[in-house]
Amino acid sequence: MLKSTALAVVLGLGVAWSSGAVAQETLKIGVILPYSGPFADAANQLQAGIDLYIAEHGDEVAGRKIELIKRDTGGPAPDVARRLAQELVVRDNVDILAGFALTPEALGAAEIATEAQKLMVVMNAATSVVTEQSPYIVRTSVTIPQLNYAFGTWAYEQGIREAYTLVADYGPGIDAETSFAKGFTEAGGTIVGADRTPVANPDFSAYVQRVADADPEAVYIFVPGGAQPAAIGKALVDRGLAPPDIKVLGQGELTHPEALESMGETARGIITTFHYTLERDDPLNKAYVDGYTAANNGREPDLFSIGGYDGMHLIYEAVKATNGDTSGDALVEAAKGMAWDSPRGPMSIDPETRDVIQTVYIREIQEVDGELQNVIVHEIPNVKDPLHGAAQ
């Protein structure tokens, strides 16, 4: 009963808010992120990307002064995200909803965006279904299938014929496993084994032993960031499963800079796919990395921060295109087909799906100037999410 009442309030007031948006001097952006709890670091990195864009481009756009109203989910907490989205719309009268580091929270808020007719900019949540949940959602981050379907195809093209998949047993891991396997097998490869590990504090030894017993040419890995990349890297090395004896493939979190510090030599030769590489040799990226590290006590940007940075770019450019009209329909139409050069490379918004189109990078851990780092070895341009009509 409470749910339907709240939605009725949102729906009933949506038209009045939309029509009065231009008259407001302040452009209110409600940012929903897990600022506390297990994903606080991701939220803070994403927020730092938002803050850097505003610092570089000013806190006013199309005559509207920008005000960020931040709300903490403590996530992952979809019900909390939904409640906070309601409050931001009903009490704070925000023009735009943004943030959403985690898929469950993006899904939780999607219905509110629809009922209130508010642009909702998803700056990280990476499962394919997110943009399908509301016609007001636009994504500026990445999708897991976007990366891994292309990666599976590429792996076969490099001569790999057999692979074993080992992924964390939750939504993103399952998405990664499914999309990598689809790309790999459709190209002609064979998955000789598949396993899923617990998300929290797994002991990888038994799982890695099963990989060793299967003796594949390659193992594909997806684990969350934090301590797990180093832990699984050590488990692989302990059982003789390290390059060049076996191809170790994974999504970019596996060789994130913080993970590399813990993995040391065990990371050498690991190949990953990602949409952003801070070592990318490009003037725009260099300026972004320098600006970010200067503003964040030397810490380097990551996938979360670039999603926030580009999310703010989309908001600024959409508001400019509408001359300050922040009605959801006007902003979404302005976002469809938008294209720009990001620190990550060329990117655009698919006008049909409202999802991001971008370059997928294949990187290998190599030694550069005495240090191990991700080195781009291949680029796949203009990749769409394969579940949203990309060529397969």
* CATH (residue range 2-142+284-354): 3.40.50.2300
Please name the residues in contact with 1: beta carbons below 8 A apart, sequence gap of 6 or more: none
The pTM (predicted TM-score) of the whole model is 0.89
DSSP codes joined into one string, 55-68 = HHH-SEETTEEEEE
pLDDT (tens digit, 9 = 90+) per residue, 150-190? Answer: 999 999 999 999 999 999 998 889 999 999 999 999 999 99
DSSP codes joined into one string, 293-312 = HHHTTTPPP-HHHHHHHHHH
Architecture of 145-274+359-388 per CATH?
Answer: 3-Layer(aba) Sandwich (3.40)
CA 230 → CA 180, 198, 237, distances in Å? 22, 16, 11
What DSSP designation does 390 have? -
CB 88 within 8 A of CB 328: no
Measured CA to CA, the distance from residue 173 to residue 227 in angstroms comes to 16
Percentage with pLDDT > 90 across the chain? 81
Q: Where are the domains of the chain?
A: 2-142+284-354, 145-274+359-388
pLDDT (tens digit, 9 = 90+) per residue, 88-105? Answer: 999 999 999 999 999 999
- Asked if 2-142+284-354 and 145-274+359-388 have one fold, the answer is yes
> What's the pLDDT at 118?
98
Measured CA to CA, the distance from residue 274 to residue 272 in angstroms comes to 7
CA 102 → CA 38, 107, 136, 296, 378, distances in Å? 11, 9, 18, 23, 28
